[in-house]
Amino acid sequence: MLASVNCQDVIDWLERELKPNHFKDYAPNGLQVSGRQNIGQIVSGVSVSQALIQAAIDCQADMLLVHHGCFWQGEKRTLVGHQRERMAMLLAHDINLVAYHLPLDAHARWGNNVCLAKVLNIEVQGLMPGHDPALGRYGQLATPQSPKDFAKWITQQLKRQPLHIAGQSAMIQSVGLSTGADQDGILQAADMGLDAFISGEVSERTTYLARELGVHYFAAGHHATERYGVQALGAALAEKFNIKHTYIEIDNPV
């Protein structure tokens, strides 16, 4: 039989495991909107949106767990427009909103990067420099693949075709990963002598960097590369507290 747990116990566990105080982030980590105290059903998703909140309402969720939450740097500090509607939906249904950004990218067990490596069958060998604490990982494919075959593999696993900017090596074995909008991590990948680097987004400058540095670059989608950490974290909460967890996929082509 599934249980019910105090919301603060869930938050305390998340804070101990993810250690958000170690990160200088762009939005608050942890509990962003408080709701009911007893948690029996968690819904997770990549990014908060009215569509995801409605899905959480439909699931009768007590907590909505996301990677991308609210209150980002540079946003208006007023609850108007779409932000007001989001807050109104959460408050009307007494749903807790919990978000972890960089701490979830970096985590050694439930992080976006280690989870993406698992999906792509990349054996993680260590951390990538460039951030403090480190976010990305690097590793090896069990069998070298041609750039064309590796792009097909990413498409198969992520259900999204990546943008491939060709590097120099004829075969790919060593790969760096830093999900989301860490395309400039290609610089660290080059310093490490890696064959390829995967992130979510791409900038105009990334084309020239890939060509000049000789590193194959794969822009596999911000959303697509960051689906997996929040699912793993939600599953861990369900197991830890004997509660229900449901991941909701909201389509996003970016």
- The 10s digit of each residue's pLDDT in 37-69 is 999 999 999 999 999 999 999 999 999 999 999
pLDDT of residue 83: 95
The stretch 155-170 carries a mean pLDDT of: 97
* Sign of the four-CA dihedral 38, 41, 46, 50: negative
Q: Which amino acid, residue 97? A: L
Average pLDDT of the chain, as a whole number: 97
pLDDT recorded at residue 97: 98
Amino acid at 222: H
- Complete edge-to-edge strand list for the sheet that includes strand 63-68: 30-33, 96-99, 63-68, 41-47, 244-247
Residues paired with 38 in a beta bridge: 6
Instruction: State which fold the 5-105+227-247 domain adopts.
Output: 3.40.1390
Q: Is 70 exceeded by the pLDDT of residue 1?
A: no
- For the stretch 77-90, pLDDT in tens is 899 999 999 999 99
Fold matches, 5-105+227-247 and 112-225: yes
Q: Where are the domains of the chain?
A: 5-105+227-247, 112-225
Which residues have C-beta within 8 Å of that of residue 224, sequence separation ≥ 6?
158, 159, 160, 200
Q: What is the pLDDT of residue 143?
A: 97
The two structure tokens encoding residue 61: 């969720």
Question: pTM of the entire structure?
Answer: 0.97
pLDDT at residue 198 above 70?
A: yes
Cα 96 from Cα 77, distance rounded (Å)? 20
Cα separation, 112 vs 163, whole angstroms = 20
Residues in the chain: 254
Q: How far is CA 37 from CA 2, 96, 187, 239, in A?
A: 16, 9, 46, 19
How do beta strands 163-165 and 30-33 pair? unpaired
pLDDT for the residue 225: 98
3-state secondary structure of 164: strand
Q: Which CATH class is domain 112-225?
A: alpha beta
227 contacts 219 by C-beta, under 8 angstroms? no
Once rounded to an integer, what is the mean pLDDT over residues 72-81?
Answer: 93
Per-residue pLDDT, 3: 83
Question: 201 pLDDT exceeds 70?
Answer: yes
What average pLDDT does this structure show over 91-120?
A: 98
247 pLDDT higher than 90: yes
Phi, psi for 28 (deg, rounded to 5): -70, 140
What is the model's pLDDT at position 2? 78
Instruction: Name which of 33, 72, 58 is nearest 248 in CA terms.
Output: 58
Which of 74-83, 110-119, 182-191 has the lowest average pLDDT? 74-83
